[in-house]
Amino acid sequence: MILPLLTDFPTLKLRDLLGAPSPSVSMDNVKVGSKGACLRMHLLGKCSVQGCSFNHKAITIPPERVTAIAAHLLRAGKAFRIHHK
């Protein structure tokens, strides 16, 4: 669900993805890595933001956290599609 969004919206920012009013998915629901980590890189798989100043260093996410984040991103992706037809 998320990868097709990146094809259609290549500069999609995480805050925009999470910005749909319903269902509400907060940044806390999907936060990974330490302060300064590029969430676009770590959650969406790539960062195409030219000059991004956030950290792109590889991180390890526990499997149970990956499952929870994936569910939140799936909900957010569906909501984004509905609001951006």
For the chain, 85 residues long, the average pLDDT of each consecutive 10-residue run is 74 82 85 90 83 93 93 89 80
Q: Is the whole model's pTM more than 0.95, yes or no?
A: no
The predicted pLDDT at position 3 comes to 65
The predicted pLDDT at position 51 comes to 93
Mapped onto helix, strand or coil, the DSSP state of residue 80 is helix
The predicted pLDDT at position 48 comes to 79
Region label for 33, one of left (φ > 0), alpha (ψ between -120 and 50) or beta (otherwise): left
